Amino acid sequence: MRTQVAIIGAGPSGLLLGALLHKAGIDAVILEAKTPDYVLGRIRAGVLEQVCVDLLDEVGVGARMHREGLAHGGFDLAFGGQRHRIDMKTLTGGKQVMVYGQTEVTRDLMDDRAAKGLPTIYEAASVSLHDFDGAKPRVRWQKDGATHELECDFIAGCDGFHGVSRASVPESAIRHYERVYPFGWLGLLSDTPPVSHELIYTRHERGFALCSMRSMTRSRHYVQCSLDDKVENWSDERFWTELRRRLDPEAAERLVTGPSIEKSIAPLRSFVAEPMRFGRLFLAGDAAHIVPPTGAKGLNLAATDVGYLGRAIAEHYNEKSDAGIDSYSERCLRRIWRAERFSWWFTSLMHKFPETGEFGEKMQLAELDYLVNSVAASTAMAENYVGLPL
C-alpha cells in the first residue's frame, strides 16, 4: 500500500488532520489501534476555542456543533462562598467558547470520513514506524493474522501520550519537560441539568470543584481528590455530598443529583516534548504535550497543531514550499508553552496544595480577589481562556 500521509491515531486530532488533508486534495490513511466504539467511548472535555470551531467549520463538520453546542460568553470563579463572573465576551471584544463534547467532535469527524469513503484502519495491532529520517517512511502493523506495510511521504503521530509515535523517536533526539501534580480530578457524568448556564470553577478549602455540562440535560462535575484514591471508594451519594460542600450556597441549592453514567479519576500533569518534528515524522496533540484540564486547552492545542500541520503539508504538495514544514515545531511550541503557562497558573490558583500551607492559601485568595476586581487582570484571564491568536 502507498499513500501520501500516514496518520497514526483516529482520535479528534488525527481525524481532523485527515479532513484537512482531504480538503486540500491530499491522500491519507489513518491507523488506529482500538475499535471505533472504544474511541467514541472515551469521555473527554468539550470547551472549544474559536480556532477549533473554525477548523471544524473549514472541513464541513460544524453543523451539528452549531445546532447543539452551547456558546458561552463567560464563566464563574467561586471562592469565599461567592461567585464572580468573568465576562469573556465583553473583555475580549466579542470572543466566546463553544461547549460541545469531545466525543461529539470525534463522532462528527468519524461519520464524515466514513461518508466520504476515506480509509481508516481500526484494530491495527503492533504498529511500528520506519525510516522517517529518510525520504521513504514506512508504517507496519498487524491485522487479521497478517503483517501489512504502508509506504508514505510523511507520518503524523496523533496517537496520544502513550502512543507509538513519540516512543519511536531516539531518546537522544527529543527532550521532555514534565510536572506531575499531587492530586487528580474525580469526574462524574450524569443526565441532570447543569447547575448554571455557564461553567463554575470553585476554589475551596476542601479542594477544587468544577460544575460543567455537555448539554442542558447532561452535566459533568469534578472534585479534586488524592492520587491514591479509587473510583470504587466513591459512591454517587458520596460524590454529590462532597461536591455540594464545595459549592457556594446558590449553586449548592440548585444542584440536581442523579445516577452516574460514568465516573473516573484523571491525574493532572503538564508535559511537553521538544521538538515536534523528526525528519518526516511530526507529533501532534497529546503525543507531544499534555496540559492540566483546568484551562480546557488539550483538544484546542491538538486542533491548532493539526491546523498548522495540514497547511504545511498542503504547501509542500500544492505550492512546492517546505516553509510550513520547517517552521512547524517552532510555531506549535510557542503556542503550546503559552497555553501550558496559563493552565499551570490556573491550576496553581484554584487547587489545594498541601505543601503550601496557610500562607499559600492566603496568596490564592489575594490573587483571586485582585483578579476579579481588576479589569486588566480579568482581561488577561479572558484572553487566555478564549484562546490566544495564532
Q: Among 254, 252, 244, 247, which Cα is nearest to 81's? A: 247
| Cβ neighbours for 368, distance < 8 A, ≥ 6 positions apart | 77, 79, 203, 349
Give the residue-averaged pLDDT of 14-22.
98
Bridge partners (DSSP) of residue 79 are: 82
pLDDT digits (tens, 9 = 90+) for 94-117: 999 999 989 999 999 999 999 999
Q: Among 1, 72, 24, which Cα is nearest to 306's? A: 24
Q: Give the total residue count for the chain.
A: 390
Q: What is the pLDDT of residue 46?
A: 85
pLDDT tier, 295 (very low <50, low <70, confident <90, very high otherwise): confident
Q: Among 235, 183, 190, 228, which Cα is nearest to 207's? A: 183
CATH number for the domain running over 5-72+96-177+269-346: 3.50.50.60
Q: What is the pLDDT of residue 41?
A: 84
Q: What is the pLDDT of residue 355?
A: 84
Could you give the CA distance from residue 175 to residue 153 in angstroms, rounded to a whole number? 25
Residue 296 near residue 185 (C-beta atoms within 8 A)? no
**For residue 197, pLDDT beyond 80:** yes
Q: How far is CA 73 from CA 186, 284, 346, 382, in A?
A: 26, 29, 19, 10
**For residue 73, pLDDT beyond 90:** yes
Left if phi > 0, otherwise alpha if psi is -120 to 50, otherwise beta: which for 77? beta
Relative to beta strand 97-99, strand 120-121 is unpaired
Extents of the domains making up the chain: 5-72+96-177+269-346, 181-267+352-386
Q: What is the pLDDT of residue 272?
A: 98
**For residue 389, pLDDT beyond 90:** no
- Annotated catalytic sites, by residue? 72, 201, 293, 297, 385
Give me the amino acid identity at 191: D
Give the residue-averaged pLDDT of 170-177.
97
Q: Is the peptide bond before 275 cis (omega within 30 degrees of 0)?
A: yes
What share of the chain has pLDDT > 70, as a percent?
A: 100
Q: Among 160, 122, 204, 127, which Cα is nearest to 44's? A: 160
pLDDT digits (tens, 9 = 90+) for 354-388: 888 899 999 999 999 999 999 999 999 999 999 98
Listed range (135-139, 204-208, 352-356) with the worst mean pLDDT? 352-356
The DSSP string of 136-201 is: S-EEEEEETTEEEEEE-SEEEE-S-TTSHHHHTS-GGG-EEEEEEEEEEEEEEEESS--SSSS-EE
**For residue 45, pLDDT beyond 90:** no
Q: Among 326, 306, 330, 305, which Cα is nearest to 316's? A: 326
**Looking at the domain covering 181-267+352-386, what would its CATH class be?**
alpha beta
SS3 at position 48: strand
- Burial of 95 from C-beta contacts in 10 A (0-12 / 13-18 / 19+): middle
Could you give the CA distance from residue 103 to residue 41 in angstroms, rounded to a whole number? 7
pTM confidence score: 0.94
Q: What is the pLDDT of residue 354?
A: 83
Question: b or e along 103-135 (b: 16 or more beta carbons within 10 Å of the residue's beta carbon)?
Answer: bbbbbbbbebbeeeebebbbebeebebeebeee
**For residue 57, pLDDT beyond 80:** yes
Q: Among 292, 288, 281, which Cα is nearest to 305's? A: 288
In this chain, the answer to whether the domains covering 5-72+96-177+269-346 and 181-267+352-386 adopt an identical fold is no
pLDDT digits (tens, 9 = 90+) for 27-38: 999 999 999 999
Q: Which three cell numbers stand for residue 310?
A: 495540514
pLDDT digits (tens, 9 = 90+) for 218-276: 999 999 999 999 999 999 999 999 999 999 999 999 999 999 999 999 999 999 999 99
| Cβ neighbours for 350, distance < 8 A, ≥ 6 positions apart | 201, 202, 203, 208, 294, 364
Mutual orientation of helices 102-115 and 12-23 as an angle, nearest 10°?
40
Residue 118 near residue 14 (C-beta atoms within 8 A)? no
| Average pLDDT score over the chain | 96
pLDDT digits (tens, 9 = 90+) for 324-363: 999 999 999 999 999 999 999 999 999 999 888 899 999 9
Q: What is the dihedral of CA 207, 288, 162, 126, to 10 degrees?
A: 170
